[in-house]
Amino acid sequence: MKIKFKIRRYNPVDTEASEPYIQAYMCEVPEGMTVLEALLKIADEQDPTLSFRKSCRSAICGSCAVSINGFSKLACNTQVIPEFKKAGEMLIEPLANHTPLKDLIVDFVPFWRKMEKVSPYLTPAEGESAPAVTPEDEERVDRSQRCIMCGCCNAECNSLAIDENFIAPAALAKAWRIVGDVREGNARRRLHRLSEEHGMWDCVRCVHCTQYCPKDVAPLKAIEELRSSAMKEGITDNPGAKHVEAMRDSVERFGRLDEAAMTFKTLGFLRSLGMIPFGLRMEKHGKLPRPHIFAQIEELDEVKKIYEESERRAKEEKRELASRKKGW
């Protein structure tokens, strides 16, 4: 099957075309051929100036993530014909949320810097003998350690798109790999740092990272684990945790979410004043939540029961962990 590949080309030092443009290549594609194989064929037979990263061609080295028809994917792991049939075209561009350097090659330096920022290595507690890792301990971090650092999650991240300083899902998945490790000795300190601005609470939970991860790492799951661990540790002096607490309190008191009150509880009175212009713009678009007139739902005691039960479970969990720690 002959398929037209539209590839975004870019070479900043090309005097004739220093702006990005789309170049088309016709390529004969046999059944089973992957996008990476097609790119290699195009580079070998038609245009050796085409630049892209690649290495293992078996979805484990993480080199070849690109945008295929608008979505971040590994070129080596995507078959051309089914993709072409589904999308009706074959448009290949550099990963989003990353600065293109040449053709499909993007600047990965920010990605590595974010990785480094979470101190991505185990720091066992000093002087204690390391606990044995059980199959359950392994299970807990297993998905996060499948990460191949391809950058698909960061490329699809909505928070990173508006804040380049956001730590972003890939590094957060790595952070959970370490924090969630039963042998880690500095989890609390790490959670404190992750709770700072541009940290884990800046995720808006759009689920893109999990949706586009080619290795089933589920970074959002890791982010939720991190947030939950931080709150259990009592690290709540930040807008993210306060927001969650406000939600919890609202549901506990009224049985429902009082959206109008959330801003004050999350940001405090003074910082909420600064949100007034934003609130006015929301109002203009009919988006400003109204306070409830009858805030409380009827069967509030049922909600109370749920709260009691979850608190009892949390205590149990804590006791179990403490008794395990004693055994080490």
Partner 1 sequence: MVIHDIVIIGGGLAGMRAAIEASRAGLDAAIVSKIYPVRSHSVAAQGGINAALKDTDSWENHAFDTVKGSDYLGDQDAIELLCKEAPFDIMELEKMGAIFSRDPEGRIAQRPFGGAGYPRTCYLADRTGHALLHVMYEQLVKHEVVLYDEWHVVKVVVEDGTARGVIALELSTGKLHRLHSKAVLIATGGYGRVFRTTTNALSSTGDGMGLALDAGAELMDMEFVQFHPTVLKRTGILMTEGCRGEGGYLLNSKGERFMSRYAPKVQELASRDVVSRAEQTEIEEGRGVDGCVLLDLRHLGADKINRKLPQIRSLAINFAGVDPVEKPIPVKPGAHYSMGGIRTDFDGATTVPGLYAAGECACVSVHGANRLGGNSLLEAIVFGRRAGIGVSNFSESNGLLPFPATALKEAAFEVADITKRDSGESPAALREEMAGVMEAHSGIFRDRTRLTDGLRKLRDIRERFKGVALTDRGDYYNNELLQVIELAQMLKISEAILLGAVEREESRGSHFRTDFPLRNDKDWMKHTLVSLKDGEMKLGYKAVTVTKFQPQERKY
Residues at the contact surface with partner 1, assessed by CB under 8 A: 11-14, 32, 34, 37, 40, 43-45, 47-51, 53-63, 77, 79, 101-103, 105, 108, 112, 115-116, 119-122, 124, 130, 132-135, 137-138, 141, 145-149, 178, 181, 183
CB 230, min distance to partner 1, A: 21
CB 169, min distance to partner 1, A: 17
CB 272, min distance to partner 1, A: 40
Q: What is the dihedral of CA 301, 306, 308, 309, to 10 degrees?
A: 140
CB 198, min distance to partner 1, A: 19
CB 131, min distance to partner 1, A: 10
- Pick the closer one to partner 1 by CB: 12 or 234: 12
CB 35, min distance to partner 1, A: 12
How far apart, in Å, do the first and last CA atoms of the chain sit?
A: 62
CB 197, min distance to partner 1, A: 23
DSSP state of 95: P
Amino acid at position 126, single letter: E
- Pick the closer one to partner 1 by CB: 40 or 300: 40
Q: What is the dihedral of CA 266, 269, 275, 279, to 10 degrees?
A: 90
CA–centroid distance for 266 within its chain: 23
CB 54 within 8 A of CB 48: no
- Pick the closer one to partner 1 by CB: 11 or 210: 11
- Pick the closer one to partner 1 by CB: 112 or 307: 112
3-state SS, residue 120: coil
Burial class (CB in 10 A: 0-12, 13-18, 19+), 50: buried
- Pick the closer one to partner 1 by CB: 87 or 162: 87
CB 320, min distance to partner 1, A: 16
Q: What is the dihedral of CA 236, 242, 245, 247, to 10 degrees?
A: -160
Output the 3-class SS for 159-218.
HHHHCCCCCHHHHHHHHHHHHCCCCECCHHHHHHHHCCCCCHHHCCCCCHHHHHCCCCCC
- Pick the closer one to partner 1 by CB: 221 or 256: 221
CB 22 within 8 A of CB 5: no
Q: Considering only CA atoms, which of 4, 13, 160, 3 is closest in space to residue 72?
A: 160
Rg of the chain taking only CA atoms, in angstroms: 24
- Pick the closer one to partner 1 by CB: 79 or 272: 79
- Pick the closer one to partner 1 by CB: 199 or 214: 214
